[in-house]
Amino acid sequence: MEKERLLTVRNLHAKAGDIDILQGVDLTVNAGEVHALMGPNGSGKSTLAQILAGRDQYEVTEGEVIYRGKNLLELAPEERACEGLFLAFQYPVEIPGVNNTYFLKAALNAIRKHRGEEDLDAVDFLALVKERLQLVEMDPSLLSRPVNEGFSGGEKKRNEIFQMAVLEPILAILDETDSGLDIDALRIVAAGVNRLKRPDNATVVVTHYQRLLNYIVPDFVHVLIDGRIVKSGDKNLALELENRGYDWLEEQPKGRRKTPQRGALVS
């Protein structure tokens, strides 16, 4: 069966102010796939993730992004979310005064409304919350606290995955969800992500450690350096990066980086 094409990024260039950050990114993600996006600090991974989610402080200067047949860059951030795009933030934001459960319910119902579905009533919502809470083994006391306020680094990351578990996105981008998690938490979060995996959704895992990829096994690994995907491969590429670092890729002549990588990825 033909897998649905979820995301196509073509020759994406973007800058923040005067600084060029993305310099021609190509990426294709199909339903059912797990992609790992790796690369050294400052290479543009979060920028790519934020642009996909609709952050307006970046300016796209060239290229296009197609998400499930739509021009993603024309959609408002909340429309993207309602269309099933989810970003687990590298730095989840604190929202004082807004109850975590209340927030999640507002989010879920906004998405349901977009799909033309009824609001989930309080009883069904709580049942869902309980079930998904177990998936990420999150402390239930975090539910009644303000969103992320005073949460530890690890609790914030877990809360992101918990939200993802409730919202059931089609394309999830996890930006460094592993950083700040100890090894047990990492295992639990990874198990949660794996259990949410379905033939009709996909995950892009952004990380600069291969550690997480022991638990979430990627179908594809891409290396982003200086705003370009310089190499793509399978899970073995991650192991190679673990052994050799990024230096050997950074030293490649400029000309080769311009070669679009997407050909290798279309399945």
Among 5, 15, 114, 262, binds another protein (CB under 8 A): 114
CA atoms within 13 A on the CB side of 78: 9
Q: Does 224 bind another protein (CB under 8 A)?
A: no
Find which of Mg ion, another protein, ligand ADP, none residue 103 binds, CB within 5 to 8 Å per kind: another protein
Question: Cβ closer to another protein: 78 or 184?
Answer: 78
Nearest-approach distance from CB 25 to ligand ADP, in angstroms: 11
> Cα(153)–Cα(37) distance, rounded to whole angstroms?
22
- Among positions 192-211, residues that touch another protein (CB under 8 A) are none
Burial label, 154 (beta-carbon count in 10 A; 0-12, 13-18, 19+): middle
Burial level of 17, CB count in 10 A (0-12/13-18/19+)? exposed
Rule CB under 8 A: choose which of 31, 36, 37, 82 binds another protein.
Answer: 82
Which of the choices Mg ion, another protein, ligand ADP, none does residue 59 contact, using the CB cut-off of 5 to 8 A by kind? none
Q: Which residues bind ligand ADP (CB under 6 A)?
A: 16-17, 19, 21, 39, 41-47, 57
Single residue of 89, 151, 162, 246 touching another protein by CB under 8 A: 89
Q: In what order do the strands lie in the sheet with 228-233?
A: 85-88, 171-175, 202-206, 34-38, 220-225, 228-233
Nearer residue to Mg ion within complex by CB, 23 or 46:
46
Task: Please tell me the number of Cα atoms within 13 Å of 166 on its side-chain side.
Answer: 31
| CA gap 111, 127 in Å, rounded | 18
Considering only 46, 148, 201, 210, the residue that binds Mg ion (CB under 5 A) is: 46
Q: Where do contacts with another protein occur on this chain (CB under 8 A)?
A: 53-55, 57, 76-78, 80-82, 86-87, 89, 92-99, 102-104, 106-108, 110-111, 114, 146, 163, 167
